[in-house]
Chains A and B, each alone.
Chain A
Amino acid sequence: MIPQKFEYTAPKTLDEALLLLAAGAKPLAGGMSLIPMMKLRLAAPEHLVDLGKLKDLNYIRETDGTLHIGATTTHAEIESSPILRKKCPLLAETAAAIGDVQVRNMGTIGGSVAHADPAADYPAALQALEAKLALKGAKSDRIVAAADFFVDAFTTALQPNEIIREVIVPVEAAGTGTSYQKMFHPASGFAIVGIAARVRKKAGNIALVRIGVTGLSNRPYRAATAEKALEGKLGSATEIQNAAALVAKGVDANSDLHASAEYRRHLAVVHAARALMTALARTA
Chain B
Amino acid sequence: MATTMTQTETFVGKRVRRREDPRLITGTATYVEDIQMPGMHYAVIVRSPHAAARIRSIKTKQAEAAPGVVAVYTGKDTERVGPVPCGASLPGLRVPHHHVLATDRVYFVGHPVAVVVATDRYLARDAADLVEVDYDVLPAVADPEKALAKGAPAVHPEWPDNTAFTFHQEGGDVDKAFAEADLVVKQRMTSQRLIPMALETRGVVAEWRGADRQLNLYTSTQIPHLVRTLVAQMLSLEENRMRVVTPEVGGGFGSKLNVYAEEALMGFVAMKINKPVKWIESRRENFLCTIHGRGHVDYYEVAAKRDGTILGIKLKIIQDLGAYHQLLTPAIPTLSVLMMPGLYKTKNVRADIVGVFTNCMPTDAYRGAGRPEATHGIERMVDLLADELKMDPAEIRLKNFVGKDEFPYATATGLMYDSGDYAAPLKKALEIVGYQKLRQEQIEARKQGKWMGIGISTYGEICAIGPSPATPAGGWESATVKIEPSGKVTVMTGACPHGQGEETTFAQITADELGVGLDDVLVIRGDTAIVQYGIGTFGSRATAIGGTALYFALQDLKAKIKKFGAMLLESEDVTFSAGQVTCNRTGKSKSLQEIAGASYRALKLPPETEPGLLATRFWEPPNFTFPFGAHIVVSDIDGETGQIKIRRYVAVDDCGNMINPLLVDGQVHGGVAQGLGQALWEQVVYDDNGQLVTGELMDYAVPRAHMMPWIENDHTTTPSPVNPLGVKGVGEAGTIGCSPAVVNSVVDALSPLGVRHIDMPLTPEKIWKLIAGGN
Q: Which residues of A contact B (CB under 8 A)?
A: 2, 4-5, 36, 40, 100, 183, 185-188, 257-260, 263, 266-267, 270
Whether, in the assembled complex, B401 has its beta carbon less than 8 Å from a beta carbon of chain A, the answer is no
A270 vs B764: C-alpha distance when bound (angstroms): 13
Residue in A4, A185, A270 whose CB lies within 8 Å of B640: A270
9 of the cross-chain contacts (CB-CB < 8 Å) are A2-B121, A187-B699, A187-B702, A257-B693, A257-B699, A258-B763, A258-B765, A259-B765, A263-B768
Contacts of A188 in B (CB 8 A): 697-699
Cβ contact within 8 Å between A36 and B699 = no
Q: Is the CB of B122 within 8 A of A5?
A: yes
Inter-subunit contact B768/A187 (CB<8 Å)? no
* Shortest Cβ gap from A142 to chain B (Å): 33
Excluding A186-B701, A258-B763, A267-B641, 13 further A-B contacts by CB distance (< 8 Å) are A2-B125, A4-B126, A5-B122, A183-B643, A183-B764, A186-B680, A186-B707, A187-B698, A188-B697, A188-B698, A257-B699, A260-B765, A270-B641
Q: Does B533 contact A (CB under 8 A)?
A: no
Shortest Cβ gap from B175 to chain A (Å): 43
**Closest CB in chain B relative to A185 CB, distance in Å:** 8
Contact B122 A263 (CB under 8 A): no
Which of B282, B641, B698 lies in contact with A36, CB distance below 8 A?
Answer: B698
B681 within 8 A of A: yes
How many angstroms between the C-alpha atoms of A216 and B162 in the bound complex?
A: 41
Decide yes or no whether B329 CB sits under 8 A from chain A. no
Q: Let me know if B216 is at the binding interface, CB within 8 A.
A: no
Name which residue of chain B comes closest to A270, CB basis.
B640
Q: How far is A259 from B763 in the complex, measured between Cα atoms in Å? A: 9
Contact A100 B641 (CB under 8 A): no
Task: List A contacts of B704 (CB < 8 A).
Answer: 100
Q: Cβ of B126 and Cβ of A266 under 8 Å apart? A: no
Which of B282, B680, B764 has the most C-beta atoms of chain A within 10 angstroms of its own C-beta?
A: B764
- Nearest Cβ distance between residue B675 and chain A, in whole angstroms? 16
CA distance A260 to B641 in the complex (A): 13
Cα A186 to Cα B702 in complex, Å, equals: 8
Which chain B residues lie closer than 8 Å to A267 at the CB level?
641
Q: Which residue of A lies closest to B685 (CB)?
A: A257
Knowing A2-B121, A257-B693, A263-B768 are in contact, say whether A183-B641 is a contact too (CB < 8 A): yes
CA distance in complex: A100, B702 (Å): 14
- Across the interface, do A40 and B765 meet the contact criterion of CB distance under 8 Å? no
Across the interface, which residues of A come within 8 angstroms of B282, CB to CB?
2
User: Across the two chains, which residue of chain B brings its CB closest to A2?
Assistant: B125
Contact of B126 among A5, A100, A185 (CB under 8 A): A5
Alpha-carbon separation in the docked complex, A19 to B126 (Å): 29
Q: A4-B126, A186-B681, A263-B768 are in contact. Are A40 and B284 (CB under 8 A)?
A: yes
Select from chain A the residue with minimum beta-carbon distance to B707. A186
* Nearest CB of B to A270, in Å: 5
CB <8 Å contact, B700 and A187: yes
Distance of B285 from chain A, by nearest CB (Å): 11
- The yes or no answer to B543 lying at the interface (CB within 8 A) is no
Interface centre among A5, A40, A186, A257 (most CB of B within 10 A): A186
Q: CB distance A2 to B640 under 8 Å?
A: no
Q: From residue A57, how far is it (CB to closest CB) to chain B in Å?
A: 27
Complex partner residue of B765 from A5, A263, A270, CB under 8 angstroms? A263
Expressed in whole angstroms, the minimum distance between the Cβ of B200 and any Cβ of chain A is 15
Residues of B within 8 A of A270 (CB): 640-641
B363 at the interface (CB under 8 A from A): no
Q: In the complex the two chains form, what is the Cα distance from A36 to B699 in whole Å? A: 13
What is the total number of residues of chain B having a CB less than 8 Å from a CB of chain A? 31
In chain B, residues 743-775, which have Cβ atoms closer than 8 Å to a Cβ of chain A? 763-765, 768-769, 772
Residues on the A chain within 8 Å of B122, using CB: 2, 5
Complexed CA–CA distance, A128 and B643 (Å) = 26
Sorted nearest first, the 5 A-B pairs with minimum C-beta distance are A186-B701, A187-B701, A2-B125, A188-B698, A263-B765
Pairwise interchain contact B697-A187, C-beta atoms closer than 8 A:
yes
* Cβ–Cβ < 8 Å partners of B698 in chain A: 36, 187-188
Any A CB within 8 A of the CB of B505: no
Query: Is the C-beta of B739 less than 8 angstroms from some C-beta in chain A?
Result: no
Tell me, yes or no, whether B589 is within 8 Å of chain A by CB.
Answer: no
Bound Cα distance from A100 to B685, whole angstroms: 25
In the bound complex, residues from chain A placing their C-beta under 8 Å from that of B763 are 186, 258
B107-136 contacts to A (CB < 8 Å): 121-122, 125-126
With a CB–CB cut-off of 8 A, which chain A residues contact B702?
187
Bound CA–CA A168/B335 (angstroms):
62
Chain B residue numbers with a CB within 8 Å of A186 are: 680-681, 701, 707, 763
> Which residues from A are CB-within-8-Å of B246?
none
Q: Is B548 an interface residue (CB 8 A)?
A: no
Interface centre among A2, A100, A185, A188 (most CB of B within 10 A): A2
What is the CB-to-nearest-CB distance from A64 to chain B, in angstroms, rounded to a whole number?
A: 40
Inter-chain contacts of B284 with A (CB < 8 A): 40
Is the CB of B419 closer than 8 A to any CB of chain A? no
**Using Cβ atoms and an 8 Å threshold, which residues of chain B touch A257?**
685, 693-694, 699
Contacts of A2 on B, CB cut-off 8 Å?
44, 121-122, 125, 282
Nearest chain B residue, comparing its CB with the CB of A267: B641
Q: How far, in whole Å, are A5 and B125 apart by their CA atoms in the complex?
A: 11
Taking the closest CB of chain A, its distance from the CB of B702, in whole angstroms, is 8
**Per-residue CB proximity of B400-424 to A under 8 Å, as 1/0?**
0000000000000000000000000
Cα–Cα distance between A270 and B640 once the two chains are bound (Å): 7
C-alpha spacing A2/B702, complex, angstroms: 24
Residue-wise, chain B 654-694 has the 8 Å CB interface mask toward A (1 for contact) of 00000000000000000000000000110001000000011
What B residues does A183 contact at CB under 8 A? 641, 643, 764
Report the minimum CB–CB distance from B195 to chain A (whole Å).
11
A2-B282, A5-B126, A36-B698 known; A266-B768 Cβ under 8 A: yes
Closest CB in chain A relative to B126 CB, distance in Å: 7
Residues of A within 8 A of B765 (CB): 258-260, 263
Instruction: Give chain A nearest CB distance to B212 CB in angstroms.
Output: 33
Distance (whole angstroms) from the CB of A66 to the closest CB of chain B = 35
Contacts of A187 in B (CB 8 A): 681, 697-702
- Shortest CB–CB separation between residue A190 and chain B, in angstroms? 8
Indicate with 1 or 0, residue by residue over B698-741, a CB within 8 angstroms of chain A CB atoms: 11111010110000000000000000000000000000000000
* A40 CA to B288 CA, complexed, in Å: 14
Chain B residues within 8 Å of A36, by CB: 698
| Residue ID in chain B nearest A274 by CB atoms | B640
Determine the chain B residues whose CB is within 8 A of the CB of A259 once the complex forms.
765
Please report the C-alpha to C-alpha distance between residue A277 and residue B714 in the assembled complex, in whole angstroms.
Answer: 42
CA of A4 to CA of B700, assembled, Å? 25
Closest Cβ–Cβ distance, residue A226 to chain B (whole Å): 17
Closest to A1 in B: B282
Q: Which residues between 457 and 502 of chain B lie within 8 Å of chain A, taking CB atoms?
A: none
Q: Closest chain A residue to B763 by CB distance?
A: A258
Residue in chain A with minimal CB distance to B702: A187
- Nearest A residue to B765 via CB reads A263
A183 and B282 alpha carbons, distance in the complex (Å): 30
Bound state CA distance, A260 and B680, in angstroms? 17
**CB-CB nearest in chain A for B768:** A263
What's the least CB distance linking A240 to chain B, in Å?
14
Nearest-neighbour CB distance to chain B for A151, whole angstroms, equals 23
Which chain A residues border B697 with CB–CB below 8 Å?
187-188
A266 to B765, CA, bound (A): 10
Query: When chains A and B are docked, how far (Å) is the Cα of A263 from the Cα of B643?
Result: 12
A270 to B699, CA, bound (A): 24
CB distance from B550 to the nearest CB of A (A): 41
CA distance A259 to B701 in the complex (A): 14
Chain A residues whose CB sits within 8 angstroms of the CB of B685 once the complex forms = 257
Which partner residue on chain B sits nearest A266 by CB separation?
Answer: B768
Complexed CA–CA distance, A5 and B680 (Å): 40
Chain B residue at minimal CB-CB distance from A40: B284
Nearest CB in chain B: distance from A161 CB, A:
28
Complex Cα–Cα for A2 and B280 (A)? 11
Nearest chain B CB to A250 CB, angstrom units: 21
Closest chain A residue to B693 by CB distance? Answer: A257
CA distance A187 to B677 in the complex (A): 11
- In this complex, what residue of B is CB-closest to A190? B698
A204, B720: Cα distance in complex, Å: 72
